[in-house]
Amino acid sequence: MSKKPKRRKAASPIRHTTKSSFPAMAGTSSAFDMTNLLEQVQQVQAEFVKAQEALREQVVEGSAGGGMVRVSMRGDHRVTAVAIAEECVDPDDLEMLQDLIAAAVNDATAKVEELTAGIAGGSLASLGSFPGLEALDQLGIQIPAPEPGVEG
């Protein structure tokens, strides 16, 4: 009876090094803590959700015609009130009134977008303090800004 030759353990295809094998993360600490980064992102996300909820409660007013038509709009783009001055209502010129209403809605929408951008910018700006975030960007991992008007 012949003896079977001893098998060697196959070399692991995974190399364990102290330096990152990702070129984008070269020079970063070997103690890059993905769990910590994800926790921080979740905290920012929670803050952002709170900011979105607060934004829904904000009310802006758009106007046209020197204030003859006013539109109140919430931060979630819902129109809550429309006010039209009596002298603006001319049954023979409805087109002018329609244009003024459209302009007032557009003005209110622009103001909501400004509020949204301010809140989004403030929440997302805090992401810049995360260690290694620039490395994620170099790896092609993007953290998208939420679209205005989209409810979570």
What mean pLDDT value characterizes the chain?
75
Dump the DSSP string for 110-141.
Answer: HHHHHHHHHHHHHHHHGGGGSTTHHHHHHTT-
pLDDT reported for residue 118: 77
Domain for residue 31, yes or no?
no
Does 5 score more than 80 pLDDT?
no
Let me know if residue 136 belongs to a domain.
Answer: no
Domain count for the chain: 1
What integer pLDDT is reported at residue 149 of this predicted model? 52
Q: 3 lies in a domain?
A: no
And the tokens for 66? 């020197």
- Asked, for residue 114, whether it belongs to a domain, the answer is yes
Radius of gyration for the chain, computed over Cα atoms and rounded to the nearest angstrom? 28
Q: CATH number, domain at 83?
A: 3.30.1310.10
pLDDT at 47: 83
DSSP-derived letter for residue 28 is S
Residue 143 forms part of a structural domain: no
Q: What's the mean pLDDT in 39-54?
A: 83
Q: Which domain holds residue 108?
A: 58-128
Determine, yes or no, domain membership for 91.
Answer: yes
Question: Per-residue pLDDT for 36 more than 60?
Answer: yes
Confidence band (pLDDT; 50, 70, 90) for 123? low
Beta partners for residue 152, in sequence order? none
